[in-house]
A and B are shown apart, each in its own frame.
Chain A
Amino acid sequence: MSLLTPALLGFLALIPIIIILYLIRAQRRREPFSSILLWRDMVHDLEIKTRFRRPPLSLLLLLQILVALLGALALARPFWREETPPARQIIVVLDASASMQATDVEPNRFAEAKRIARDLLSPVGDSVEGSVIKAGVHAEILAAGRDRSALLQAIDSAGPDDGAGDIATAWKLAGGVASVRPGAQNEVILLSDGSFPAASLAPIPAGQRFISVGRKGENQAIVQVGVRRPLSGSAKPSAFVRVANYSAVAADRRVRVLADGILFQEQPLRLDPRATVDLTFEPPIGTRLFAAVLVGRDLLAVDDRVDAIVPQPLERDALLVSSAPEVLLRALRAVPELAVRTIKPEEYKEPGPAVIVVFDGFLPPALPNAPLFVVNPPVGSALASARFGRPGFASQVNASSALVSGVDLTPAEFGRAAKLEVPSWAAPVVIGPDGPLILEGERDGRRAVVFGFDPAATNLPKLLAFPALVVNSVDWLLAGPEGATKPGVTVRLPGGLAGQLVGPSGQSSTADQLALYDSTERVGRYHLRPSRGDPVVVFAINLADERESDVSPQPFSPSGGQGRSMPPPLPAFAVPTVAPGGHPEGRDLWLLFAGLALATLAAEWWVFCRRGAS
């Protein structure tokens, strides 16, 4: 037996309190007696002279202690684990991806899937368990157990997301749920329109069924958007939009383009069957928010609009602190719109308006509160403890880092780099055979990049990789959030900002020192309004997913025939989780203990009344 709320065993402290109350001499009740003649001589034995006394072992005391004990146990929720015979288990996976919002069935595919799921879970009861797993942009188990009403309530409260569904994770979750009931008749039922890669489904130890939801595929969508400033240096941005027609017939739509919410262009569009059209637009100078909308109705509305943030020209300054700045200065001058000012280390003092501070072969005792670019930190400083004994090369690169995006470091030789001490706020990006060579991180809300090598002592100045590495580093150091991304993706926000973040549907959350934001299930624009007067930060979430926009139902065949096939089920015994013979089930015993406590209390009251009457 275990306890669900063991902390409430603290009520056992009532027992010593009861005993203490007995120890303390209570106010004696007066009893008239014919004569105390026979009692008087016994007084020396009977009269209690002290405040405390040995508690009499009375039935009332015992009953009161028992009531306190049973009551405390009931509050602690004793839980008896017992073996129950294997049960049948129905695991329903609801595809909650954006394509399930298609309206080819009334009112939409997800509502139809919920209706089917309710029917599938109707046998849930004493011997049949049910589970509901939502495969939205994140997979999650909504409910599980033998309480059918709880399962239905979870289904009712579920809704589709605006992004691609994480079917693979949901499928693994279903397998995990099935594996804890190896003796049960497990069945995983996937309710989906099939808009996911079939290969993503791993074998699971359960019977599998796929129920297709949806009938038609007539849908057009904006599947790509991009806005950039031309390399020519013009202030006028250019926007790129790709529109796709997933229908088997041609479609005539109109494209409406908005700049900062104001219509500036609208044009008709003829879309051939199963074809795409690329469009380019030039929003007016100064446009910050670009949007393109497919006018008219189709099966899926969520992919008929895209938003994008127009990159703004930045007035960027850098302060280079170096005694030999030539090599680094050349690379920094390759960064567009970056004004570099150079000073000697001995001239360094707390920087003024500099945006980026670049320390080359020098590190002050106190680091400035600014984006930091440290190159070749001196040995003995906080970042470098020694120098490697041999030349290094990039043996391991974190390809997901923006610093090495488009940079080929294969031919790079880093010379005898400094042995970097990785601070808690930093992570390695490039690692050599003896240790990290490049670090990135965020300290006190400001980003920092550390190159552990002296560029002049490497072959980097001769490689195109070096200016690219420096440009990437400066861009990353000064970057805001991504201009546009997909639903469910975690967005990195400028560090140190506190304020209110408002989503596209008006939902808001107050954030303090918000750095990462992951509630991006809905498409549209998100605004972070900093509380201390910094500029509003905007980022956009778009579906832009060809697989989701292609809402044609994808058939599944369980045996690998025509269409996509379900993975073969793993035998249940292959899952070494629980011993055969059943799964430990819990039985909450608080009601039993509460009943016993009440019965004991009633007995105590009866004894008390009986004594009072006699």
Chain B
Amino acid sequence: MTDVATRLLGDEAFLRSIEQLALVVRRVARPGLNGDHRGLTRSNSAEFADYRRYSPGDDFRRIDWNLYGRIGALFIRLAEAREDIAVHILLDTSRSMDFGHPHKLDYAKRLAAALGYLALSRLDTVTVTELGSSLGARVGALRGKDSAMRLLGYLDGLSARGTTDLNSTLKSYAEAGRASGLAILISDLLAPSGFRAGVERLRATRLEVVVLQVLAPQELDPEAEGDVELVDRETGEIVEVTLTEGIVEQYRHRLEAWTGGIEQTCGALGVAYHRISTVTPIESALLTELRARKILR
């Protein structure tokens, strides 16, 4: 088994836990296939919702004969419509994700695997696409837990490369004519041009968007001291810095301001946002933090 698969499938208790979770979607999407998300309309699925009087043309198989025996009138059983959603996992694989202990891309892949498995177990369709300097390979649409191994195999094959241009890649993804659904962007968001325009384009295509920002502890609280040359993983650009307590504190303030700005942007766009440190166990991230943010239920 692959690394991501080993980690995910090797923990049965965790699998059982996440199978109980579901992605919260405000704009449920595609009617038709019986997914595991409650729809806005009634359907004839197995789950009882209400009765209505029989009228000619109705399916005889849905008449409740027990009720007819008790009250002498014909009623048709109505079931709640169960609709699937299309889950689009957009995974940033730029070289900036190749950083940190624990490693950001590894963590992002495990997060994508867990969310994808969660969606597959709910009979949603799952598509995973890597985002670099342009749109990369994708897998999907997958459906059902039988597709989990494909999902995991795909994720294992991903490696960090290229630079980050979220606006461009998200626009490209939106323009590819995806159906509505839930887009989960997993990225460090360290894109010089930002991500707002791209997310707006996703929203315009009726995709509900969740932004999960993954950062390493070394980015949240740099520990290096002294005279260093910071080398950008993506561009190779160098910045000479003398790291002192004061300078690091200044960086922390800047980071907080930056992530605060991202959160504000997401709020303005009606996009769910959560920042995750790679030191946070995946279980805690899913079972506690994302549930608390009402991204999962």
Contact = CB atoms under 8 A, between A and B. Distances in A.
Contacts of B250: 42, 45
Given A34-B100, A35-B96, A46 B227 contact: no
B234 A25 contact: no
B46 interface: no
B138 interface: no
Contacts of B255: 38
Contacts of B192: 37
Contact of B219 (A34, A40, A47, A611): A34
B229 A29 contact: yes
Contacts of B104: 34
Which of B228, B230, B232 has its CB near the most chain A CB atoms (within 10 A)?
B230
Contact of B244 (A33, A43, A47, A56): A56
A533 interface: no
Interface in B179-233: 188, 190, 192, 216, 219, 223-233
Given A58-B225, A611-B225, A37 B231 contact: no
Given A47-B239, A48-B240, A56-B242, A32 B99 contact: yes
B289 to A, nearest CB: 21
B258 interface: yes
Nearest to A47: B240
A30 B227 CA distance: 9
A31 interface: yes
A29 B242 CA distance: 10
A41 B227 CA distance: 18
Given A34-B104, A46-B247, A29 B226 contact: yes
Contacts of A611: 225-226
B228 A38 contact: no
Given A28-B228, A42-B254, A34 B247 contact: no
A614 interface: yes
B254 A38 contact: yes
Given A38-B251, A39-B239, A47-B239, A33 B232 contact: yes
Interface string A573-614: 000000000000000000000000000000000000001001
A36 interface: yes
A26 interface: yes
B12 interface: no
B59 interface: no
A385 B286 CA distance: 117
Nearest to A53: B242
User: Which of B97, B216, B251 is most buried by chain A, counting CB atoms within 10 A of its CB?
Assistant: B251
A45 B239 CA distance: 12
Contacts of B229: 28-31
A485 B254 CA distance: 98
Contacts of B226: 29, 56, 58, 611
A29 B231 CA distance: 10
A25 B229 CA distance: 13
Nearest to A56: B244
A41 B226 CA distance: 19
Nearest to B228: A31
A35 B240 contact: no
A26 B226 CA distance: 10
A49 to B, nearest CB: 10
A456 to B, nearest CB: 97
A25 B241 CA distance: 12
Contact of A36 (B98, B239, B247): B239
Contacts of B99: 32-34
A39 to B, nearest CB: 5
A41 B240 CA distance: 12
Nearest to A33: B230
B237 interface: yes
B228 A42 contact: no
Interface in A324-362: none
B48 to A, nearest CB: 53
Contacts of B188: 34-35
B247 to A, nearest CB: 6
B227 A34 contact: no
Contacts of A26: 227
Nearest to A37: B190
Given A43-B239, A45-B250, A56-B242, A35 B234 contact: yes
Contacts of B251: 38-39, 42
A31 to B, nearest CB: 4
Contacts of A38: 251, 254-255, 258
Nearest to A43: B239
Contacts of A29: 226-229
Given A26-B227, A28-B229, A36 B237 contact: yes
Interface string B56-76: 000000000000000000000
Contacts of A53: 242
B247 A42 contact: yes
Nearest to B97: A34
Nearest to A30: B229
B231 A30 contact: yes
B228 A30 contact: yes
Contacts of A48: 227, 240, 242
A36 B254 CA distance: 12
B240 A33 contact: no
Contact of B230 (A25, A36, A45, A58): A36
14 contacts: A28-B227, A28-B229, A29-B226, A32-B230, A33-B230, A36-B232, A36-B239, A37-B192, A39-B230, A43-B240, A46-B241, A46-B247, A47-B241, A56-B244
Interface of A: 25-26, 28-43, 45-48, 53, 56, 58, 611, 614
Shortest Cβ-Cβ A-B pairs, 4 listed: A34-B99, A35-B190, A28-B227, A34-B96
Given A30-B229, A35-B233, 12 more contacts: A33-B99, A33-B219, A34-B233, A39-B251, A40-B239, A42-B250, A43-B239, A43-B240, A46-B240, A46-B241, A46-B242, A47-B241
